[in-house]
Amino acid sequence: MKYCYFCFMLLLVASCTLSSSQEASLHKALTSYIDAHNNGEVMAYVAYTHPNVVGFFEDQGDSLFREKFELFSTGNGGDYLQDGTLKEIEKKNNQIHVRYVFDSYTEIDYNSIANELGLIAISVDDGESWYFVEEDDYTNEKIFSKDEQLIAL
């Protein structure tokens, strides 16, 4: 009985982790996404944002699209993401969803944390490529149906 329990736990832990190539791909994409966000590089930021989110806000009109994708800059203020913590990984077939929580600073001096920002990394090709979604958009059923949400928030 102990052997069965040990095997089950080992299988459970192994099924909730990423391979080294998946991890490397995710790290590269996440770094690019956060750098684009923090440096105000709108084109790169939109390119790494999940197409469902981009499409949804395009359909809402130019003003909402601009408001959604308005980014931090030293001149305009905004939020600056730092210190991401991995919280959860869920897999289903070739889909992988990874939840992070980042500290969101209103100033680059890192003294005033405005709040935390939940971010979901999504891969539909078993970790080869990644897109990113803020938690509020992930739970918006007009963007992602309940069936598409592997992580329960």
The string of pLDDT tens digits covering residues 4-36 is 444 334 334 444 689 999 999 999 999 999 999
Predicted pLDDT of residue 66: 87
Tell me the C-alpha to C-alpha distance, in Å, between residue 148 and each of 105, 151, 152. Answer: 30, 9, 10
Q: What percent of the chain has pLDDT over 70?
A: 80
Predicted pLDDT of residue 43: 94
Residue 33 included in any domain: yes
Q: Which of residues 144 and 10 earns the better pLDDT score?
A: 144
Predicted pLDDT of residue 80: 81
Residue 112 included in any domain: yes
Q: Is 107 left (phi over 0), alpha (psi -120 to 50) or beta?
A: beta
Residue 89 included in any domain: yes
pLDDT band at 39 (very low <50, low <70, confident <90, very high): confident
Q: For tokens 């699209």, name the residue.
A: 65
Predicted pLDDT of residue 121: 98
Residue 153 included in any domain: no
SS3 91: strand
Residue 72 included in any domain: yes
Residue 37 included in any domain: yes
Q: Which residues pair with 122 in a beta bridge?
A: 97, 131
Residue 10 included in any domain: yes
> Structurally, how many domains does the chain consist of?
1
Structural domain including 39 reads 2-148
CATH at 106: 3.10.450
Q: pLDDT by residue (tens digit) across 113-141?
A: 668 899 999 999 999 999 999 999 999 99
Residue 131 included in any domain: yes
**49 pLDDT more than 80:** yes
Q: pLDDT by residue (tens digit) across 61-111?
A: 998 998 888 875 555 556 788 889 999 999 999 999 999 999 888 766 656
How many angstroms separate the CA atoms of 153 and 151, rounded? 6
Predicted pLDDT of residue 109: 60
